[in-house]
Structure 1
């Protein structure tokens, strides 16, 4: 008997994307016909790891932002992700909506490879009260809120003082996040399967103004010093107000985000070149 690949499949959709519901329902009907068990749910109902525990695969119907949200819960549960692109950029998604039937058939036949991407684990500490852990596929950002005073972020690497960034904030990014906010702030572009962590200052003022690439095994402690308002943002979500003396501890998570890939292994460079050409054309 042939192996049955991915029996219980979560279908997570972005409720505000046009055609997401209809496409997800069509895929669910197809999965039922071939003997799979689809679980259909809107993205806003996915808020804890236990929901995806027991899934064999998560299929997303949206853009890269939805993939970031799903990875937060699927990665700790060891559930691989396959994205159907209903967004614009599609750095993380894999399938175009018009080709879903053909491409899913390839998955069932085993014609795919698994890409593993570094995740970050962050804890927020205030007066010895610890919150977290929180998980990020792109980045953890400490930044000022609105117009106001600069933020000072003291950085320790493995318990030793490294530097203090002064400016609008600091981005701690994964290789996945190196093509997101970190790139806009002047950081380097890293291939997605590297295991490095990148520090990228935001609008630095009289402080280190270059990005720094760190080994995956480091542990960071960021201490915030500000007379204004600052916020902690994880993968673009949260904007949690942080105060003078708050600390954020960051390290590589003990698991990776896993993605089902159907393109060849050099796809990232072609996609990156396309995006960079588009950026130049838009200038």
Structure 2
């Protein structure tokens, strides 16, 4: 499924849930300020249940993430991309869009600076926004033909070893066809969203969010000819652990399953998606320039 960015089919948002990085200094004050801005714009405001439990705010009602679909029109995330990843995985498939507000440096998904919140949200709640659909990966972990773990990932599924164990060996198949045996520290399977995360640090390519592809990026491969590769997004990727100790598979670095030799991970595109909303002037290229410190000056020719 391609990631589609569009300015059409705008929706009206009245019931808004706030999710936040509650560990941050001054978070409660920032959250209350955001809630007041939204109330002044005529919105009914709720706190996501875990956010509510970890703040001293009692004057705002809470709603569990699993209940957003029937109670919430829009989710606003106050934090960073990690906070966005956590809630996005929980509400994927609920058809409730997300807006990201960053409290620190610009994020790829949390792209609205805190100081611009009132002006930007006022315009977005009037319908002036772009809609950006992102797909997830889903995985099943098998041992002796029995499922021992499952997970979903907006960024990546990563098979890797602990810091003190030796190299691991993997067999990789795509759509039932043998691709290679690989000796390395691990393997990253990343969505376009995740191509700017761990996969990029392992030397993988950056995929534009609209590209329907999946990145396979080896981590410190034994053979330098083991290069990252981009597969079609509808590929079924099967990874078997052939050798190695203290190996695990994790999903967006937020949940994991321990592996034994002979275990298999089957990874495919999930039917669930999330929708990110951006201001009209949002630019993926500007975000990359600012995050990666690319040359800011346009070419003179």
Please report the TM-score for the alignment, with normalisation by the length of structure 2: 0.84
Partner of 1:92: 109
Structure 2 distance, partners of 1:176, 1:44, is 28
| Superposed counterparts of 1:42-57, under 5 Å | 42-43=50-51, 50-54=66-70, 55-57=72-74
Q: CA deviation at 1:11?
A: 0.3
> Is 1:210 matched up with 2:217?
no
Partner of 2:79: 62
Partner of 2:19: 12
Partner of 1:224: 241
Partner of 1:275: 291
Q: CA deviation at 1:120?
A: 0.9
Q: CA deviation at 1:90?
A: 0.9
8 Å contact from structure 1 (residues 120, 252) kept in 2: yes
- Of residues 169-178 and 115-124 in structure 1, the stretch that sits farther from structure 2 once superposed is 115-124
- Of residues 18-27 and 143-152 in structure 1, the stretch that sits farther from structure 2 once superposed is 18-27
8 Å contact from structure 1 (residues 13, 21) kept in 2: no
- Of residues 164-173 and 148-157 in structure 1, the stretch that sits farther from structure 2 once superposed is 148-157
Structure 2 distance, partners of 1:51, 1:147, is 42
Q: CA deviation at 1:144?
A: 0.4
Partner of 2:275: 258
Shift of the 26–119 alpha-carbon distance from structure 1 to 2, 3 Å rule, reads same
Partner of 1:127: 144
Please report the TM-score for the alignment, with normalisation by the length of structure 1: 0.89
Match of 1:200 among 201, 217, 221: 217
8 Å contact from structure 2 (residues 169, 182) kept in 1: yes
Runs of 4+ in 1 over 4 A off after TM superposition: 43-46
Computed over aligned residues only, the root mean square deviation of the Cα atoms, in angstroms, reads 2.3
Q: CA deviation at 1:260?
A: 0.4
Cα offsets for 1:41-86 (capped at 9, x unmatched): 345979x862332221111111110011111022221211101102
Structure 2 distance, partners of 1:272, 1:35, is 34
Structure 2 distance, partners of 1:185, 1:251, is 21
Q: How many residues align?
A: 275
